[in-house]
Chain A
Amino acid sequence: GDSVTQMEGPVTLSEEAFLTINCTYTATGYPSLFWYVQYPGEGLQLLLKATKADDKGSNKGFEATYRKETTSFHLEKGSVQVSDSAVYFCALRKASGGYQKVTFGTGTKLQVIP
């Protein structure tokens, strides 16, 4: 079945450091890929998405590129802030036939210290 593997946390960085959270996937067909973020005490929010190979999703300084050849969708940010502290989930969704089930990774907790 479909699956998503992301790097284990927690990840602790100093403010303004460079962030990479690795994500790889296994799926048949052509899934759409997503990063969701869960801030403390809040619900899941869509951070960015990419719907086909080589697409780059970006939002709030975060970006991720859909790499079909390596089945990866790594999340990056050039300079993290304390406010970026949250749990980040990589996810996939099948793109065909209106199939709507989203498969999530286990999440990576990011802590940014001043």
Chain B
Amino acid sequence: GAGVSQTPSNKVTEKGKYVELRCDPISGHTALYWYRQSLGQGPEFLIYFQGTGAADDSGLPNDRFFAVRPEGSVSTLKIQRTERGDSAVYLCASSAGLAGDGGHTDTQYFGPGTRLTVL
């Protein structure tokens, strides 16, 4: 079946502009995560949704970053007044959201990412 998809695959923007990055999770997955991967680094957690609500947004670096998931499926990561330091690959992952066993069996499936370049 279809995996996690992200659009666009590449986004080039100018400093100060606003961007939106989209994530389509695996159908039926209630949990959705955003990560940011800078060059030569591992992915860093940004935000976690369980259903429509952001259960943990502690990884968002500042108030220029915001994410929504209004219907509990597709999510959009929004970045205002972009800065050159925001350049990175933004990864989305989804999981079934199984919590009955403390999440032991709840595997996260990653999308291919959106490469954001801020000039």
Binding site for B on A (CB under 8 A): 4, 32, 36, 42-46, 49, 51, 89, 91, 93, 95-107
**Inter-subunit contact A104/B44 (CB<8 Å):** yes
**Inter-subunit contact B113/A104 (CB<8 Å):** no
Contacts of B93 in A (CB 8 A): 44
A45 to B93, CA, bound (A): 10
**Inter-subunit contact B102/A95 (CB<8 Å):** yes
Contacts of B59 in A (CB 8 A): 101
Q: Would you list 6 pairs from A and B whose C-beta atoms are within 8 A, ordered by A residue? A: A42-B112, A43-B91, A45-B110, A51-B104, A102-B108, A106-B41
**Inter-subunit contact A101/B112 (CB<8 Å):** no
Binding site for A on B (CB under 8 A): 3-4, 31, 33, 35, 40-45, 48, 55-56, 59, 91, 93, 95, 99, 102-104, 106-113
Interchain CB contact (< 8 A) of A44 among B41, B91, B95, B99: B91
Residue of A nearest to B112 (CB): A43
Interchain CB contact (< 8 A) of B42 among A46, A100, A106: A106
Q: What distance in Å separates the Cβ of B100 from its nearest Cβ neighbour in chain A?
A: 9
What 7 pairs between A and B have smallest CB-CB spacing?
Answer: A104-B42, A44-B110, A98-B99, A43-B112, A43-B110, A51-B104, A101-B45
Given contacts A43-B111, A102-B108, contact A97 B42 (CB under 8 A): no
Interchain CB contact (< 8 A) of A46 among B31, B91, B107: B107
Interchain CB contact (< 8 A) of B43 among A44, A49, A51, A98: A44
Q: What distance in Å separates the Cβ of B113 from its nearest Cβ neighbour in chain A?
A: 6
**Inter-subunit contact B102/A97 (CB<8 Å):** yes
A101 to B99, CA, bound (A): 13
Residue of B nearest to A9 (CB): B40
A85 to B93, CA, bound (A): 23
Contacts of A101 in B (CB 8 A): 33, 45, 48, 56, 59
Residue of A nearest to B5 (CB): A43
Residue of B nearest to A109 (CB): B40
A105 to B99, CA, bound (A): 25
Interchain CB contact (< 8 A) of B40 among A36, A43, A91, A106: A106
